[in-house]
């Protein structure tokens, strides 16, 4: 489909219609403010663009040493190079404050995007100039449209030699049509940018200057917040934070009225009841800094301190004027793990918090700030069911908890079945694989075995771009196989699309566990013997226990081994041949890999120091095959 003529038509895009100006309504436009959410598929450059915009607006002092992707401030975010939590910042441009909300692009954190969209009036949609529309582009755009946000398209990474920006603009247009965008939403402005180089242009192939074209477009096209500043206070809690000086923080948008530091307010709970509290401090963001403010007005995105218990979605009001806003709707979880008290022989060696009480309290705290995670008690006091939107989201929770000193065991993820029209349905995902042509055969075959069906295939030079619909269940543990099959050159993206009738049985794991038969310390001698047959997860000199999984056998079925055997002294020979024993370094399994690898009768043991795989039943003779 051909897109309409997108003129950067300044006048006709003023979001204020004449009617709203004439009517004697308390609703007025805040010309000094714009609230913009930045959304895109993973890695399309959102956080880098925020860096560039901050720099353009002089948010950093000349001598200030700022890290790249400064908004990715969490440890795990920096290590992995991805945004996990959405964060807001603000810049001043031509007398207008633009409040920017950076969001995560990874599908597992879609819930995070969904809840912050309510704070914005427009969405800056980034799209990689080569990759184009990807699964998460569709997901976040659909959410933005359902919030009635007006999209502004930034075709980013225009510096890539293989860019195909014009096609990408058409892809976005088609996607908008498919998603049922309104005419106004279809008339989206387009900016061609390289966030990394800090340059952009309104014209494809035009002169690339700084990022002011992005800022100018925001001022022209992002609607000014239309708010009632005189009405009674309504503020909705969207994100929770914590500060060691001021305690719990609540981040959200002022929907109506004003809020002053020191005032008494109430929070309206989900059950309709309310608790009162005093607003001890109020903050706004100026650049990357948090600054204290005395008053917040409708339209502002602010941080409130003083309320110790609040849930995401609660409304803050004036006492006696409780008026709750609709709760924030989040897509339901799709996968579940069971988190239990560690009962391995090494339990308690490393962890500070190991009891079911401590684990339960920590999980309860997570739910308060992370609405896309659900916790359920099970019939066993020491086991908790934790559900979320994907393995990465759960892996990040597991990693965060172990860094805080927790120790526990995790079961294999299972999908969450939903009844749709009386039929049992399972989550299915849109999968996009961008791979070298030579790997196409094996990827298609593997995904077909996993009940995937191909929906499209395009050739881009020597690479193939394929789309599939695959049950989430079939994708557990697939990523590492995919990387092997594409020799590390493939890109794989997934995003939950919905629920479909259960697709039937899937093949099991085609490798088997290598299991230690003894407790003790691993020896080079025994590792040398076993490594001919299997890939090991442990190095020499490491403590292992009976029933611990120490490696991967190339064939299914258990391989029980003694990995702690010391070489007998009587046949000890110190020939040079012996001393030159070459040991393959152990394969270090990550949390996500482990979640995709373990079977129902196995567990991942997590401590602040170690990740161990184990059988649930440790004693070999008690384990049935
Ligand atoms: N070539 C090129 N690379 C870019 C550009 N913008 C960002 N990148 C790179 O793309 C990668 C991802 O950038 P991020 O800014 O973290 O992307 P993001 O959209 O915030 O990613 P998530 O938050 O994880 O969804 C980084 O390696 C950036 O350096 C660009 O304009 N050109
Ligand atoms: Mg980011």
Domain assignment of residue 16, yes or no: no
Predicted confidence (pLDDT) at residue 623 exceeds the cutoff of 90 = no
By alpha-carbon position, which residue is closest to atom 13 of ligand 1?
45
By alpha-carbon position, which residue is closest to atom 32 of ligand 1?
157
Tokens of 558: 């258990």
Domain assignment of residue 531, yes or no: yes
Instruction: Specify whether 385 is located in the same domain as 436.
Output: no
**Ligand 2 centroid from CA 78, angstroms:** 10
Query: Where residue 275 falls among pLDDT bands split at 50, 70, 90?
Result: very high
Looking at 181, 200, 224, which one is the last position of a domain?
Answer: 224
Looking at 179, 205, 224, which one is the last position of a domain?
Answer: 224
Domain assignment of residue 22, yes or no: no
Query: Where residue 624 falls among pLDDT bands split at 50, 70, 90?
Result: low
Cα distances (Å, whole numbers) of residue 395 to 278, 320, 343, 497: 37, 43, 20, 21
202-217 core/surface letters (b: 16 or more CB in 10 A; e: else):
beeeeebeebebbbbb
Domain assignment of residue 135, yes or no: yes
Residues 474, 450 contacting (CB under 8 angstroms): yes
Residues 274, 309 contacting (CB under 8 angstroms): no
Predicted confidence (pLDDT) at residue 2 exceeds the cutoff of 60 = no
Instruction: Specify whether 371 is located in the same domain as 448.
Output: no
**Which ligand 1 atom sits nearest the alpha carbon of residue 44?**
19
Mapping DSSP to helix (H, G, I), strand (E, B) and coil, where does residue 553 land? strand
Smallest CA-to-CA distance from 390 within 339, 427, 335 is with 335
Predicted confidence (pLDDT) at residue 261 exceeds the cutoff of 50 = yes
Backbone angles phi, psi at 439, to 5 degrees: -95, -5
Strand segments, DSSP code E, in 85-233 are: 87-93, 96-102, 122-128, 150-156, 190-194, 199-201, 226-228
Please tell me the predicted confidence (pLDDT) of residue 12: 42
Give the H or E element holding residue 558.
Answer: none
CATH number at residue 247: 2.40.30.10
Tokens of 410: 């995790």
Place of tokens 């004693």: 619
More confident residue, 470 or 573: 470
CATH number at residue 151: 3.40.50.300
Instruction: Specify whether 99 is located in the same domain as 191.
Output: yes
Residues, beta carbon < 5 Å, ion ligand 2: 46-47, 83
Instruction: Specify whether 290 is located in the same domain as 146.
Output: no
pLDDT tens figures, 297-327: 999 999 999 888 888 899 999 999 999 999 8
- The pLDDT > 90 percentage for the chain reads 66
Structural domain of residue 303, as residue ranges? 228-317
Instruction: Specify whether 406 is located in the same domain as 423.
Output: no
pLDDT tens figures, 350-405: 999 999 999 999 999 888 778 889 999 999 999 999 999 888 999 999 999 999 99
Q: DSSP assignment of 243-309, as one string?
A: ETTTEEEEEEEEEESEEETT-EEEEE-TTS-EEEEE--EEEEEEBTEEEE-SEEETT-EEEEES-SS
Predicted confidence (pLDDT) at residue 241 exceeds the cutoff of 90 = no
- The pLDDT > 70 percentage for the chain reads 93
Closest ligand to residue 72's CA: 2
State how many domains the chain has: 5
Please tell me the predicted confidence (pLDDT) of residue 247: 81
How far is 537 from 21, CA to CA, in rounded Å?
68
**Ligand 2 centroid from CA 421, angstroms:** 38
Domain assignment of residue 489, yes or no: yes
Instruction: Specify whether 425 is located in the same domain as 407.
Output: no
Lowest-pLDDT choice from 35-49, 79-93, 115-129, 167-181: 79-93
**Which ligand 1 atom sits nearest the alpha carbon of residue 50?**
15
Which residues contact residue 16 at a Cβ distance below 8 angstroms, ignoring those fewer than 6 apart? 29, 224, 226
Domain assignment of residue 45, yes or no: yes
Rounded (10°) angle between helices 46-56 and 212-221:
100
CATH number at residue 433: 3.30.70.240
**Ligand 1 centroid from CA 81, angstroms:** 9
Backbone angles phi, psi at 46, to 5 degrees: -60, -55
Please tell me the predicted confidence (pLDDT) of residue 510: 84
Query: Where residue 24 falls among pLDDT bands split at 50, 70, 90?
Result: low
Predicted confidence (pLDDT) at residue 4 exceeds the cutoff of 70 = no
Instruction: Specify whether 526 is located in the same domain as 424.
Output: no
Please tell me the predicted confidence (pLDDT) of residue 90: 92
Instruction: Specify whether 441 is located in the same domain as 404.
Output: no
- Looking only at the bridges linking them, the beta strands covering 383-388 and 453-460 are unpaired
**Ligand 2 centroid from CA 175, angstroms:** 22
Instruction: Specify whether 435 is located in the same domain as 380.
Output: no
CATH number at residue 404: 3.30.70.870
pTM of the predicted model as reported, rounded to 2 decimal places: 0.85
Rounded (10°) angle between helices 165-178 and 135-146:
50
**Which ligand 1 atom sits nearest the alpha carbon of residue 68?**
29
Predicted confidence (pLDDT) at residue 339 exceeds the cutoff of 70 = yes
**Ligand 2 centroid from CA 166, angstroms:** 24
Smallest CA-to-CA distance from 493 within 194, 103, 187, 128 is with 128
More confident residue, 254 or 5: 254
Which residues contact residue 446 at a Cβ distance below 8 angstroms, ignoring those fewer than 6 apart? 478, 481, 482, 485
Mapping DSSP to helix (H, G, I), strand (E, B) and coil, where does residue 414 land? strand
Looking at 224, 252, 277, which one is the last position of a domain?
Answer: 224
Partnered with residue 360 across adjacent β-strands are none
Which residues contact residue 402 at a Cβ distance below 8 angstroms, ignoring those fewer than 6 apart? 606, 607, 608
Instruction: Specify whether 215 is located in the same domain as 310.
Output: no
Place of tokens 């994100």: 239
Please tell me the predicted confidence (pLDDT) of residue 568: 61
Residues 102, 65 contacting (CB under 8 angstroms): no
97-116 core/surface letters (b: 16 or more CB in 10 A; e: else):
bbbbbbbbbbbbbbbbbbbb
Instruction: Specify whether 161 is located in the same domain as 75.
Output: yes
Partnered with residue 259 across adjacent β-strands are 296
Tell me which of 67, 195, 197, 200 to substitute to probe ligand 1's pocket, judged by most ligand atoms within 8 Å of the beta carbon.
195
Predicted confidence (pLDDT) at residue 495 exceeds the cutoff of 90 = no
Domain assignment of residue 616, yes or no: yes
Tell me which of 40, 41, 48 to substitute to probe ligand 1's pocket, judged by most ligand atoms within 8 Å of the beta carbon.
48
Residues 112, 373 contacting (CB under 8 angstroms): no
Domain assignment of residue 146, yes or no: yes
Taking the CA atoms of 110, 83, 366 and 406 in sequence, report the sign of the dihedral they define: positive
By alpha-carbon position, which residue is closest to atom 30 of ligand 1?
157
pLDDT tens figures, 392-441: 999 999 999 999 999 999 999 999 999 989 999 999 999 999 899 999 99
Instruction: Specify whether 490 is located in the same domain as 598.
Output: no
Tell me which of 42, 45, 74, 106 to substitute to probe ligand 1's pocket, judged by most ligand atoms within 8 Å of the beta carbon.
45
- Looking only at the bridges linking them, the beta strands covering 234-243 and 247-256 are antiparallel
Which residues contact residue 381 at a Cβ distance below 8 angstroms, ignoring those fewer than 6 apart? 356
**Ligand 1 centroid from CA 160, angstroms:** 12
Rounded (10°) angle between helices 478-485 and 440-449:
160
Please tell me the predicted confidence (pLDDT) of residue 576: 44
Distance separating the N- and C-terminal Cα atoms of the chain: 57
Q: DSSP assignment of 46-104, as one string?
A: HHHHHHHHHHHTT-S-TT----SSTT--SHHHHHHTS--S-EEEEEEETTEEEEEEE--
Question: What is the total residue count of the chain?
Answer: 625
**Ligand 1 pocket by Cβ (under 6 Å):** 40, 42-48, 69, 81-83, 104-106, 156-157, 159-160, 194-196
């Amino acid at each position: 489909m051909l897109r309409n003529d997108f003129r950067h038509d300044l006048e006709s895009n003023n979001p204020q219609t004449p009617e709203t100006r004439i009517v004697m309504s308390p609703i007025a436009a805040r010309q000094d403010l714009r609230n913009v959410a930045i959304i895109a598929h993973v890695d399309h450059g959102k956080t880098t663009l925020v860096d560039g915009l901050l720099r353009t607006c002089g948010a950093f002092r000349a001598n200030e040493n700022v890290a790249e992707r400064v908004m990715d401030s969490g440890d795990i975010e920096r290590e992995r190079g991805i945004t996990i939590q959405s964060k807001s910042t603000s810049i001043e441009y031509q007398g207008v404050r633009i409040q920017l909300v950076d969001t995560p692009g990874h599908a597992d954190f879609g819930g995070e995007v969904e809840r912050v969209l309510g704070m914005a009036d427009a969405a800056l949609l980034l799209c990689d100039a080569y990759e184009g529309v990807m699964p998460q582009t569709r997901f976040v755009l659909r959410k933005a449209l359902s919030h009635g946000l007006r999209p502004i398209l930034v075709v980013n990474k225009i510096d890539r030699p293989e860019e195909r920006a014009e096609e990408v603009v058409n892809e976005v247009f088609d996607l908008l049509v498919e998603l049922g965008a309104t005419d106004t939403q279809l008339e989206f402005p387009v900016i061609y940018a390289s966030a990394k180089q800090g340059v952009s242009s309104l014209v494809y192939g035009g002169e690339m200057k700084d990022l002011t074209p992005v800022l100018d477009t925001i001022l022209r096209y992002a609607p000014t917040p239309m708010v009632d500043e005189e009405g009674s206070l309504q503020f909705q809690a969207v994100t929770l934070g914590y500060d060691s000086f001021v305690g719990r923080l609540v981040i959200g948008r002022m929907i109506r009225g004003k809020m002053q530091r020191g005032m008494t307010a109430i929070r309206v709970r989900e059950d309709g009841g309310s608790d009162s509290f005093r607003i001890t401090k109020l903050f706004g963001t100026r650049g990357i800094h948090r600054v204290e403010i005395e008053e917040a007005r409708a339209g502002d995105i602010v941080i409130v301190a003083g309320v110790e218990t609040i849930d995401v979605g609660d409304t803050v009001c004036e006492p006696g004027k409780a008026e709750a806003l609709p709760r924030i709707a989040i897509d339901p979880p799709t996968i579940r793990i069971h988190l239990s008290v560690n009962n391995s022989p090494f339990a308690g060696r490393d962890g500070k918090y190991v009891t079911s009480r401590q684990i339960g309290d920590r999980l309860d705290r997570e739910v308060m700030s992370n609405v896309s995670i659900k916790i359920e008690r099970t019939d066993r006091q020491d086991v908790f069911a934790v559900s979320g939107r994907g393995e990465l989201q759960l892996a990040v929770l597991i990693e965060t908890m172990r860094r805080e000193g927790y120790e526990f065991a995790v079961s294999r993820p299972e999908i969450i079945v939903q009844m749709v029209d009386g039929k049992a349905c399972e989550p299915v995902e849109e999968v996009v694989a961008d791979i070298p042509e030579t790997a196409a055969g094996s990827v298609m075959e593997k995904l077909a075995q996993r009940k995937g069906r191909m929906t499209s295939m395009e050739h881009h030079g020597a690479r193939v771009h394929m789309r599939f619909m695959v049950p989430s269940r079939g994708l557990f543990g697939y990523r590492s196989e995919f990387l092997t099959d594409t020799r590390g050159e493939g890109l794989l993206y997934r995003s939950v699309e919905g629920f479909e009738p259960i697709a039937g049985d899937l093949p099991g794991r085609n490798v088997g566990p290598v299991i230690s038969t003894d407790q003790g310390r691993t020896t080079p001698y025994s590792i040398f013997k076993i490594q001919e047959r299997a890939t090991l997860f442990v190095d020499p000199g490491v403590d292992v226990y009976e029933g611990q999984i120490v490696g991967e056998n190339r064939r299914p079925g258990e391989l029980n081994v003694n990995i702690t055997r010391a070489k007998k002294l009587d046949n000890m020979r110190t020939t040079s041949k012996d001393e030159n024993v070459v040991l393959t370094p152990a394969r270090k399994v990550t949390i996500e890999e482990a979640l995709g690898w373990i079977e129902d009768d196995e567990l991942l043991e997590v401590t602040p120091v170690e990740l161990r795989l184990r059988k649930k039943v440790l004693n070999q003779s008690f384990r049935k095959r």
